[in-house]
Structure 1
Amino acid sequence: MKYYVWCEDQGSGYQFWKALFSSLYPDHIVETKNNNSKLNKAAEQIKNDGNIYYILIDDAVDNPDVMRETKRLYRTISGKNNVRKISIHSFEFSLLSFEMLENWVFAENDDLKDKRRDMLEARRSYIKLITGSETAAELNDFKNKYNFSDKKNTEMIAAKILYEITRNTGFETDKSQVGHCFINNCCEWADRQADDICGLNINRLTLTEKMEQIIEHSVLQNAFKEAGIK
């Protein structure tokens, strides 16, 4: 029996999922299908071949393109007993929801943390908004308050907040690249400068320890549990 993990993510999302599964579930083969349409087509070809397929599904409900493809994918895998869905809002939101994100990125009394106080506040409000039953009015108020009116959907907002919090650190994450310090053992960052001190400077972690904590203290815990990944 083989275990496959399929995603539509390219760039940073694919890099993160590959690092997570290779460190915690090395017998799981992570593959990207590059977009939702190709992911759906691949899922259509799944047979009862004795293998297990885990499909990472983004379900940002306010993104019409994502929801259309997500509904198609749900119909495709319905009745396929060897397919499990890992349902998340988005890759970026998985990291944003990580309870210790702020403590990892910033050292104690870090001036950079003070400069990003507004964005850290936005993160806390955003998590409550997404994990609760947000209304269109509440989302609109949030976008106006934190100057996200130019973002078409909540997935774009998640990506922006994550980037603004992590930029110019070893955790800097955008659409093309996940932060080196998320997917490597502590202090293996080749471009690290002497004054690049984060919240893990004293209690340094291995990649496995990082991934264990991210799953345990984020929305991934329930998503993985529902998919039957232990």
Structure 2
Amino acid sequence: MKYLWTEDTGAGLHFWKLVNQLFFDDEFIVESKGSNQGLLDAVLDLDIKDDDKYYIAFDYVVDNQDIRNKYRVLKSIEKSSEGKIIILDMICFEYLILAFDKLVEWTGTGKTDKIKIREEVLKAVENHRINLLKIDDEKTLQYIAGFNRYSTERVMKSLAGEFTQNEKWSVKGSLMGECWYKDCCVSEHSDSLRCGKPEVEDGSGKMRMLIQSEEIKKILSIITEIQG
């Protein structure tokens, strides 16, 4: 059996299930382990059978010491698993949404300040962190400085939320917002909440475009290369 385990619940888990459906023809058993600790505990408890493979979607940022410690344990297990456990190279689900090149166009946000901050943050991402030395825009630095407990993952989650406040595009609920995966698009406008219009309205077409975006393709290439 092939398994894809994530720490994400809600919209993040839903995302991986859609990836499994649309990109892998449902060949994986997709499961949430509830948290990064739950994910680590599940891997530690594994009794791997000969034909099993486990792909681990672990949110990894280097500026969080607790996550770094858990990741080191995961890596040691991966190295001794003889290719049965494979860690996917990712920061977090929200970063995949934030880095999607159609995000601003599709959601139709009018937050010009956040659009600029998003651009600056994405340009500064390297080695699973935001390299603050690469940012010289004062408003972006002020935005990041506003976090009581700064980490790359917190910034990604917050920024992704800024662009997906409309419930139809939300990535915070029990499922991804309907406009990501259904044959519809937001049509209502209000003074405080704007919305865009994707070039395709077919639900699977929109999800396939998201899945084929650069950052997600990097992660999925790990699976496709191993599967041969």
Shorter-chain TM-score category?
0.7 to 0.9
In structure 2, relative to structure 1, the CA distance for the partners of 1:66 and 1:194 (3 Å cut) is same
Distance 1:17 1:154 in 2: 21
Give the aligned partner of residue 58 of structure 1: 59
Deviations 1:179-205 (A, max 9, x none): 2322x2231x7xx664475322x6312
Report the counterpart of residue 37 of structure 1 in structure 2: 37
Q: Which runs of 5+ in 1 are unaligned?
A: 107-112
Give deviations 1:185-230, integer Å, cap 9, x for gaps: 231x7xx664475322x631222x2232122223111121123368
Question: Quick one: distance in 2 between partners of 1:65 and 1:139?
Answer: 26
What's the CA shift string for 1:68-105, capped at 9, x where partnerless?
Answer: 11111111121312222211011100111111111211
Deviations 1:149-187 (A, max 9, x none): 2252111111111111121251122376532322x2231
Structure 2 runs not aligned, ≥5 long: none
1:118 partnered with 2:94 = no
Q: Is the 8 A contact 1:99 1:217 kept in 2?
A: yes
Distance in 1 separating the partners of 2:53 and 2:155: 33
What amino acid does structure 1 have at the position aligned with 2:120? Answer: S
Pick one of 144, 152, 155 that aligns with 1:154. 152
Q: Provide the rounded CA distance (Å) in 1 between the counterparts of 2:179 and 2:197.
A: 11
Q: How many correspondences in the alignment?
A: 216
The letter of the residue matching 1:212 is R
Matches within 5 A, 1:100-115: 100-106=102-108, 113-114=109-110
Aligned to 2:27: 27
Q: TM-score, normalised by structure 2?
A: 0.82
Q: How does 1:54-203 map to 2 (within 5 A)?
A: 54-80=55-81, 81-106=83-108, 113-114=109-110, 116-131=111-126, 135-138=131-134, 144-146=141-143, 148-150=145-147, 151-174=149-172, 178-182=176-180, 184-187=181-184, 194-195=188-189, 198-200=196-198, 203=200
RMSD of aligned alpha carbons: 2.7
The aligned counterpart of 1:109 is none
Partner letter of residue 10 of structure 1? T
Change (3 A) 1:176 1:121: farther
How far apart, CA to CA, are the structure 1 residues paired with 2:63 and 2:55?
Answer: 24
Distance 2:165 2:131 in 1: 30
Aligned residues of 1:48 and 1:82 also touching (Cα < 8 A):
no
2:55, 2:122 → 1: CA distance?
25
